[in-house]
Structure 1
Amino acid sequence: MTMVRSELTVDPSWPVDATTRMNRMYRYQRHIYDITRRYYLLGRNELISSLAPPAGGHVLEIGCGTGRNLVAAALRYPEARFYGFDVSTEMLTSAIGAIARAGLNGRAKVAHGDATNFTAQGVFGQPVAFDRVMISYSLSMIPDWVAVIEHAIASLKPGGQLHIVDFGDQSGLPGFARHALQHWLALFGVTPRDQLEATLAQIAVRTGAGLSFDRPYRGYAQAAVLTLPTRRPA
């Protein structure tokens, strides 16, 4: 039984403007996206290495793009099932192809969805609770990024983990390199979320979750793992 949707349907309640904008950005870029992004989307492989989902577990990627991370994670963890969604149908076309070429049609499923307002039932047509959720370099492109985190946490099982990697404040880089990078990111509508650690810390206190946070590559990136308690607070 295949898990991959070969035809993408777009719910009219989803953000059509965001889909149009992202499709315009990635219509041609998607063909070279994975080749070029490997040089500056740092920390993605470390995120995948840290996932360690349980056997039979379910893993979600929010903003799955071309499916690069989903394929890599599914190959690394053959006993888990993988789900991903993205607002760009152009990127999802690439993801469907990547999943099929890797022979993962039985364990990976992608769909169109809005990261700021989703449920597994609404996006995938089934009420999945996830053991792991990963968000890789997506929060910096979504204005209402806090809503993304809140929905991600709501989709986790008790004891589940949210894994995030994204651009940091580059505080450890030389000034000229930091300013050049920030200017370049702004051209693509990318805004590093300087309040990410503080926001996650507040959520951890509220939910009783554990939190680890790091700023690797001299602050070029920021990486977090938030682990929910095995029982949700009353």
Structure 2
Amino acid sequence: MDRIGAASDRHARAMDAQYALQRHIYDITRKYYLLGRDRLIRDLAVPAGGSVLEIGVGTGRNLALVARHYPQARLFGLDISAEMLKSAQRNIAHAGAHSRTLLERADAARFDPQALFGEPGFDRVYISYSLSMIPQWEAALAQALSVVEPGGSLHIVDFGQQERLSGWFRAALQGWLGRFHVTPREPLFAVAHGLAATYGVDLSCRALYRGYAWSVTIRR
């Protein structure tokens, strides 16, 4: 089955090229500025035996931490980069969670959870610093919410607009992020509000660290 599709193949190849080498040092370099990830994981509150999907699993750093926090959870992850999935498989194995984890290569904006993982949906879904790298990020956000089971929740953390930080810092950060094809999504809160209204679900939006990062939680 084609899990990527021709429309996403260019993005997949770009991500593989970018991370073929970077994946080896990604977690060391990113831990200083991908803020709010550990808070998101603590807030998941996964029920015993519950299922967790990470969209944009990257190196598997986050999912390995989820495995440690929630030893009874069933874990799933997808990423468009085959290179990143190599690191994810290794990190999940190091966390001792290989037997309860499934990782697959897929497009965040268009995937079938049943075909991919044999699951109709998930108790918890989260996206950590990936929407800012997904070209069709609004479609990915809608897709993520669509695979949350009733009673479950979707959790997002990503770069904000640095609205309470100095202008020079904001300009410098956004210039730096642009070098890595990262674009903070200014309409994120508005798009989340629209989805919450469509689905009739609870929404919480927060600016973290003076707007350095934005957090979204949607509960079904």
The TM-score by the shorter chain falls in which range? over 0.9
* Paired AA for residue 43 in structure 2: S
SS at match of 1:106: helix
CA contact (8 A) 1:172 1:219 kept: yes
Question: Which residue, 111, 121, 131 being the options, matches 2:104?
Answer: 111
Give the corresponding residue for 1:5: none
SS at match of 1:27: helix
Root-mean-square deviation (CA, aligned residues, Å) is 1.3
* Paired AA for residue 222 in structure 1: W
CA contact (8 A) 1:10 1:112 kept: no
Pairs aligned (count): 219
* Paired AA for residue 19 in structure 1: A
List alignment gaps of at least 5 residues for structure 1. 1-8, 229-234
List alignment gaps of at least 5 residues for structure 2. none
Give the corresponding residue for 2:146: 154
Give the C-alpha shift of residue 182 in structure 1: 0.9
Task: Return closer, same or farther for 1:226/1:12 CA change in 2, 3 Å cut-off.
Answer: closer
Distance 1:223 1:54 in 2: 21
Distance 1:207 1:12 in 2: 27
Moved more, 40-49 or 114-123: 114-123
Question: Which residue, 79, 88, 91 being the options, matches 1:95?
Answer: 88
Distance 1:182 1:32 in 2: 21
Give the corresponding residue for 1:59: 52
Is 1:183 matched with 2:172? no
Task: Return closer, same or farther for 1:12/1:151 CA change in 2, 3 Å cut-off.
Answer: closer
1:114-161 Cα offsets, whole Å, 9 max, x none, are 00101112322x134200100000001112111001111111111210
Normalized per residue, which structure has more helix?
Answer: 2
* Paired AA for residue 192 in structure 1: P
Give the C-alpha shift of residue 187 in structure 1: 1.5
Structure 1 runs of 4+ with >3 Å offset: 9-12
Question: Which residue, 95, 114, 123 being the options, matches 1:121?
Answer: 114
Moved more, 197-206 or 219-228: 197-206
Is 1:39 matched with 2:32? yes
Distance 2:27 2:180 in 1: 17
**What is the TM-score with the length of structure 2 in the denominator?**
0.96
Give the corresponding residue for 1:81: 74
Distance 1:88 1:186 in 2: 19
Give the C-alpha shift of residue 11 in structure 1: 4.2
Distance 1:142 1:36 in 2: 21
Give the C-alpha shift of residue 107 in structure 1: 1.4
**What is the TM-score with the length of structure 1 in the denominator?**
0.90
Is 1:30 matched with 2:37? no
SS at match of 2:38: helix
Distance 1:171 1:12 in 2: 35
Is 1:207 matched with 2:205? no
Give the C-alpha shift of residue 38 in structure 1: 0.2
